[in-house]
A = this chain, B = another copy of it.
Amino acid sequence: MINLTGAYTDQYQLSMALVYFRMGNGNDQAIFDYFFRKLPFEGGYAIFAGLEDLLDTIENLNFDQKDLEFLDQNGFPGDFLELLGNFNFSGKIFSSREGDIVFPTRPVLRVEGSLLEAQIIETLLLNLLNFQTLIATRASRMRMVAGDRKLVDFGLRRAQGVGGYHASRAALIGGFDATSNVAAGRDFQLPVSGTMAHSYIQSFENEVDAFREFARVHPKNCVLLVDTYDTLRIGIPNAIQVGKEMKARGEQLKGIRLDSGDLAFLALRCREMLDEAGLNDVKIAASNQLDEYVIKSLLEQAAPIDIFGVGTSLVTGQPDAALDGVYKLAYAHGKPRIKISENIAKTTLPDRKQVYRLKDDVGNWIGADLVALEEEKDFGMMHHPFDPGKKMQISDVDMEPLLEKVMEDGHRVYEKTLPLEIADYSRSQLDKLPGAYKRFRNPHIYKVGISDGLKKLRESLSAKNE
């Protein structure tokens, strides 16, 4: 459905690439880190998503004729366009697994390639990873409060244009069960569901006829929307009537859906009315401006809701709406590189790095990731990345390296994984994260620190640039 070419970039990537090309050093090796600085939703963790799409895109990335013609009009010279015409990414990517639980400051992914190619993919990398990580993280918060109730993504109509395509994929990775989005279901093998809207009911003379016809055509997937006219006085009695007719035919009314009014009050009354009518197996679905806070508070009021349909807040990550992921140069022309900032938290971490998750001797996460130079083998202390005084002893803890090679010579070396499998993996990882980091308000801060070697290197490069 979506074919991203080399033009899916910020023009400055090409302006810079042209300079490297003219200087003749665009093929020098470079290393860039992808990381973010701030967790979304004031939460305590994020779920990394979008990697599969990134690898697929990069593996097939080129500049097509339309791209080259446009860049020609924009003043890029012919010999450079010829270079772009032959572009294909031939570097390496080391990455956290898709679905991993990730934290600020530490590299989530590392690109190694020529300066030119690594620069050109920056924008699309940020675009795909920032967004899906945002949405998977939001979905995971909703999953936490929903327990084992069903969560369905209803967001496509309120999504940010065609961004909705990947939003549904990321929602599943974060813990949703299904989506209404047929295109995403088709391309990512997601479970797709959907029954009826108000317009369907309105198009009939009587609500009960609308229900009856739907049951006739969809006897195995009949969820009746009961609030078009009056939920308790008209909608539920009609649904009960059709539910009983289905029962008499040996069929099962699957559910009713509430889309307005006080969902807790209505769900309680609907449950009573359905139960009194012997329709105890009929599920109650609810939708309308839900987010994790509303779901939590509905369930705290014991609203007997079995299925939540979530739209805007899920697929847009409203109010945050973006993850602040960045892509920073760590190495070029044979030397580690750094960006200094008046704000120490924005000074980058130089050179080729690995990230380790710290564990106790039985494998439990102890709540810290270490960023170290790749060649470092023995670790003494972990230092706070920005506060020079803070450190902790780590010589006696177990450490699991987190960045694995997923692309080599421009080709995937990472087995294709479906969103449903990624979701399972992600859930297994999230189970290992202690509850204190999952709190909605003021979660415990997961520590990210740097090694002795990385600290020294950063200090020496900073001093040089003073």
Contacts and interface: CB of A to CB of B under 8 A. Distances in A.
A218 B340 contact: no
B160 A8 contact: no
A393 interface: no
Copies in the complex: 2
Contact of A182 (B11, B229, B322, B337): B11
Contacts of A132: 161
A260 B346 CA distance: 10
A252 interface: no
A221 B214 CA distance: 62
Given A115-B203, A166-B162, A260-B342, A157 B126 contact: yes
A130 B157 contact: yes
Interface stretch (A89-97, A185-193, A367-375, A399-407): A185-193
A200 to B, nearest CB: 4
A429 interface: no
Contacts of A185: 11, 70, 74
A182 B198 CA distance: 41
Contacts of A10: 154, 156-157, 180-182, 194
B12 A1 contact: no
Contact of A1 (B5, B159, B217): B5
A2 interface: yes
Nearest to A261: B342
A158 interface: yes
Given A12-B196, A202-B332, A218-B15, A157 B229 contact: no
A131 B115 contact: no
A117 to B, nearest CB: 13
Interface stretch (A242-250, A310-318, A447-455): A310-318
B328 A321 contact: no
Interface residues of A, number: 105
A221 B19 CA distance: 13
A128 B164 CA distance: 10
Contacts of A200: 16, 19, 119
Interface string A1-36: 111110111111111101110110000001010000
Contact of A194 (B11, B213, B323, B341): B11
Interface string A77-117: 00000000000000000000000000000000000000100
A338 interface: yes
A381 to B, nearest CB: 27
A159 B127 contact: yes
Interface in A42-90: 66-67, 70-71, 74-75
Given A10-B156, A199-B328, A229-B465, A194 B318 contact: no
Contact of A160 (B122, B163, B199): B163
A389 to B, nearest CB: 24
A286 interface: no
A14 B200 CA distance: 11
Nearest to A207: B465
A7 B340 contact: no
A330 B132 CA distance: 37
B161 A192 contact: no
A224 B369 CA distance: 36
Given A122-B197, A162-B165, 12 more contacts: A1-B2, A4-B162, A7-B186, A9-B156, A12-B197, A15-B221, A23-B213, A127-B161, A132-B161, A160-B317, A202-B337, A316-B321
23 contacts: A2-B162, A7-B186, A8-B156, A9-B182, A9-B183, A12-B196, A12-B197, A13-B194, A70-B185, A74-B192, A119-B200, A122-B197, A130-B157, A131-B160, A132-B161, A160-B163, A160-B167, A162-B165, A198-B339, A228-B339, A228-B340, A260-B342, A260-B346
Nearest 6 interchain pairs by C-beta: A163-B163, A11-B194, A12-B194, A319-B319, A160-B163, A160-B160
